[in-house]
Structure 1
Amino acid sequence: MRRRLIVAFLSLAVAIIALYGVPRVLMVADLVHASEQQYAKRMASMVGTVIDQGGGSGTVNEKLLGGLIIYGERVVYTASDGTTVVAGSDVDADDITGTSIVRSGGTVDFTRSGEIVNERISKAVTPVIAIGAGLLLIAIIAAIQLARSLSRPFLRLLDTVREIGRGNLRPPKQHLGVPEARAIDTALRESAQTLEDRLRREHEFASNASHQLRTPITALRLELEDLSLWPETPPVVRDQLDHAVREIDRLADAISQLLEMARGDAPGATTFEPLAESLHESAARWQGQAHSLGRTIHVAPMTGDLGDAPAAASQIIDVLLHNALTHGRGDITIDAERRAEYVTVRVGDEGTRPRGNAIFQRRPHRRSATAGEGIGLALSVELAESLGGHLLLDGASTTTFSLMLPARG
């Protein structure tokens, strides 16, 4: 902005100086040239008068004419009988000449050197050029100062925007002299206040929802544990109750992770568990639903030790399996491989690969109260990035998701 202001101001200043100075220079040069022409005519008339007062052509000689001129001038007297008397320097093409008729007979040609005329023109236009150069220098200084003055409020606005970007939604107020900058600053602060209120409400909602959900979940878990300890409970039912308790624990962990994400933390990033075991557990959880649909979930043989991955990764695997069962076709395959400090988990089915990456975008208008469609994959992408990994859609012809995660062990 500052550079553009300087260029614009200087362009305007140069245009004004040029529109004033160029005609002025030309006018001064014409005045000097016209003055020299008048001078040549007067000098020719004066020489003719001297010749008349001196007694006519008989007294005219080079010495007499030379005493009437200075350096750069030339006088030619042509008598009535054709006799010519010359005094002074040679004639050039750009010299100025004035002619006068002598009363006693003959003519006088007075010539003024063009070099002297040009010097007089140069001296006359030099002040005009100097004034133009001075005005241009003043314009440069004024342009720099004006550009700094006009851009300073917007640079302060840039600092305000950076503070808001760093998370400080209440940046310190600054004095801005430009009305437009003050209006922008007011709008920024109002937007930051609105954003702060919205974030506060979201954090409060997440905290309240987490608290309200944990209480009944804890009560349900205690009831199931108590029921599994009854002597009348058959072993088969006790196993199912233990399985339900574990699923409730996973639900509580998922709620805690969502709350951490709402606070801007990385949920489950510090808790690791064996990845191979987690993949088999996820496949077992969804195997029953797959069988009810006439489909199967296969876990490919793992080559080498996959190590440990963040515990929250199981939430992403569940979303991918649910997505494959809901929107995919055919059998579902889970495989994984490890390279250096990262492990890649692939979950694919036999359905046609979707076009583009629109499936990773939130689609609230398609979300239902029960299925949660339109948010699962988007939430998984955010969760994967918070764990230091990525969730991508492979380029294969069938639908295959690749989950890259940091691993250890």
Structure 2
Amino acid sequence: MRERLIAAFVGLAVVVVALYGIPRAYIVADQAFYSEQRKIERSVALLAALLPDAAVNGHLTEEYLGELIQAGERIEVRDADDVVLAAAGPLLTGHSDDISVTRELDDGSIVTLERSGLTVAASVADAVTPVVILGVGLVLFSALAGFALARLLSRPFQELADTAGQLGNGKFDLEEKHYSVPEAREISVALHSSSAALSELVQREREFAANASHQLRTPITALRLELEDLTLWKETPPAVTEQLTHSLKEIDRLSTAVSELLELARGQRLSDAREVDLGLIATKAAARWERQITADGRDIFTLGGPLPAVINPGPVHQILDVLIENSIAHGAGTIRVVLADAGTHLSLTVSDDGARPVRTNIFTRRVTQGAGEGIGLAVASELAEAIGGHLVLGAEERTTFNLMLPKRELVSAWPR
């Protein structure tokens, strides 16, 4: 905005200078040339009064004539037969602005006074220079005035932009500012109203997330205690005890996932990063879903050996669950979980033989009429961003999701 205002002021000044200054410069130049011509005519009239006496007294010499002219002028005196009686001054070079005035004297002789075009052009330039300086000065002054005025006018909008940025970063306790510019004042009022509304909305969502988390933790804790009691019963067969122990681990993972989702809902960045093996995480994820996948007549396998990383493993587990579940529900054929070190980042890819989704907003939350579809991939993408990664849909023809995780320096030494 500031640059446009300055350009507008300078452009307006240039137009004004062009419309007034250029014609004025031509007028001044014509007046200066006419003035030079009038000077020559007056000088010739004066010479016509002096030269007859000089000729009678025998003073009509080059030295005498040289004292009567100025620099850049030439004078010639000829008799009635066009014979040069005396002359002084350099010959002219044929400049387009050369001025020449001839006058016949009383004795029939002719006097010619010439002024060099270079001298005339210099006089014209001296007359036009103030107009040019004034025009340049007006343009510079308009640029300075435009800069000052543009800064004054754009300052409220820059402050409003900063306020909008703070609002986007989650700072809702914004101070309402008052401006003399009506448009800026209206925007300030609108931003302040929006910040109050968003603050109330976010507070309600956080309260809802906290209440939902609390309501979920209570039955999860009760279920865990019941399953733990079942594992301690003597009547429980060893095979069932083993399965119950596995279920207890899944319940603990579910409880951790609820806590992490609550932190995400509160706008907190998930921390608790530690050294983990992404290969082991991928293997466990495939094992969790293997029974259901096999029951559908499909296969799942992982590719890639141990892949060390420093990251929070909880969100990675949840992201893999979402991607594998998505492949079960919407994909086809074998599900592949591939791990790789891409150099700049760690790559964890989940793919199947199904056709690539055609929707471009696949990671956008959607409200559907079905059984909760439209939120899983969005949550997975948000979890990836929360741990510093990024979840993207691959460009391959088959469905491929690529989870890109940051590489961080390991504290302990991993086997190579």
TM interval, short-chain normalised: 0.7 to 0.9
Choose the corresponding residue for 2:162, options 156, 159, 167: 159
Q: Residue 217 of structure 1 contacts residue 248 of structure 1 at CA under 8 Å; is this kept in 2?
A: yes
337-346 or 3-12, which moves further after superposition?
337-346
Do the aligned residues in 2 keep the contact of 1:40 with 1:110 (CA within 8 Å)? no
Instruction: From the superposition, tell whether residues 239 and 49 of structure 1 become closer, same or farther in structure 2 (CA, over 3 Å).
Output: closer
Question: TM-score scaled by structure 1?
Answer: 0.75
Could you tell me how far 1:259 is from its partner in structure 2? Answer: 0.7
CA contact (8 A) 1:258 1:267 kept: no
Structure 1 distance, partners of 2:344, 2:141, is 64
1:62 to 25, 45, 60: 60
Q: Which residue matches 1:16?
A: 16
Q: 2:111 aligns with which of 101, 109, 112?
A: 109
Is contact 2:231–2:245 with CA below 8 Å preserved after alignment?
Answer: yes
In the alignment, is residue 192 of structure 1 matched against residue 189 of structure 2?
Answer: no
Match status 1:383 vs 2:383: yes
Query: Structure 2 CA distance, aligned partners of 1:206 and 1:376?
Result: 17
Deviates more, 1:290-299 or 1:265-274: 265-274
Q: Give the conservation status (yes or no) of the 8 Å contact 2:357–2:399.
A: no
TM-score (norm 2): 0.74
3-state SS, counterpart of residue 111 of structure 2: strand
- How far does residue 207 in structure 1 lie from its aligned partner after superposition? 1.0
CA contact (8 A) 2:2 2:151 kept: yes
Change (3 A) 1:107 1:169: farther
Q: Using a 3 Å threshold, how does the CA distance of structure 1 residues 143 and 109 change in structure 2: closer, same or farther?
A: farther
Shift of 1:178: 3.7
Q: Distance in 1 between matches of 2:66 and 2:279?
A: 121
Aligned residues with identical type, % of pairs: 40
| Superposed displacement of residue 336, structure 1 | 5.1
- The alignment partner of 2:185 has SS state of helix
Amino acid of the structure 1 residue aligned with 2:79: T
The yes-or-no answer on 1:217 pairing with 2:215 is no
Matched, 1:253 2:251: no
Q: Deviations over 1:26-67 (max 9, x none)?
A: 222322332343444444455556678x6x996786169849
Q: Of residues 124, 130, 134 in structure 2, which corresponds to 1:131?
A: 134
1:363-406: CA deviations, max 9, x gaps? 514462x3x32222232232234334444556666545454557
Check conservation: 2:231, 2:244, Cα contact below 8 A.
yes
- Provide the aligned C-alpha RMSD in A: 4.4
Letter in 1 for 2:163: T
Q: Determine the structure 2 residue equivalent to 1:352.
A: 354
Alignment-derived partner of residue 30 in structure 1: 30
Distance 1:123 1:348 in 2: 82
Provide the residue aligned with 1:364 in structure 2.
Answer: 366
**Preserved contact between residue 77 and residue 86 of structure 1 (Cα < 8 Å):** yes
Question: Structure 1 pair 48/388, CA: closer, same or farther in 2 (3 Å)?
Answer: closer
The 3 A distance-change label for structure 1 pair 159 and 42 is same
Which residue identity lines up with residue 364 of structure 1 in the other structure?
A: R
Q: Distance in 2 between matches of 1:342 and 1:75?
A: 94
How many equivalent residue pairs?
401
Q: How does 1:216-365 map to 2 (within 5 A)?
A: 216-225=219-228, 244-267=247-270, 269-270=272-273, 279=282, 281-298=284-301, 303=305, 310-334=313-337, 345-349=348-352, 351-354=353-356, 358=360, 360-365=362-367
1:193 to partner: Cα distance? 3.4
Cα deviation digits, residues 81-128 of structure 1 (max 9, x gap): 7676435435524543334455x5525434142355445434433433
1:70 is aligned with what amino acid? I
Amino acid at match of 1:189: H
Structure 1 or 2, whichever has the larger Rg, is 1
CA contact (8 A) 2:220 2:255 kept: yes
SS across alignment from 1:192: helix
The one-letter code matched in structure 1 to 2:323 is L
2:104–2:110 Cα contact (<8 Å) kept: yes
**Please, which runs of 5 or more residues in structure 2 have no aligned partner?**
none
1:62 counterpart letter in structure 2: L
Which secondary structure state, in structure 2, belongs to the residue aligned with residue 352 of structure 1? strand
Which residue does 2:79 correspond to in 1?
A: 78
Query: Is the 1:156–1:174 Cα contact (8 Å) retained in structure 2?
Result: no
User: Are residues 400 and 269 of structure 1, via their aligned partners in 2, closer, same or farther at CA, if it must alter by over 3 Å?
Assistant: farther
1: distance between equivalents of 2:29 and 2:341?
87
Taking structure 1 as reference, are residues 69 and 299 closer, same or farther at Cα in structure 2, changes over 3 Å only? closer
- What letter corresponds to residue 12 of structure 2 in structure 1? L
> Does the 8 Å contact 1:344/1:403 carry over to 2?
yes
1:287-320: per-residue Cα shift (whole Å, max 9, x none)? 44334323344467x7468699714433223223
Query: Cα 1:119–1:313, aligned 2, differ >3 Å: closer, same or farther?
Result: closer
Of residues 135, 144, 148, the one that matches 1:145 is: 148
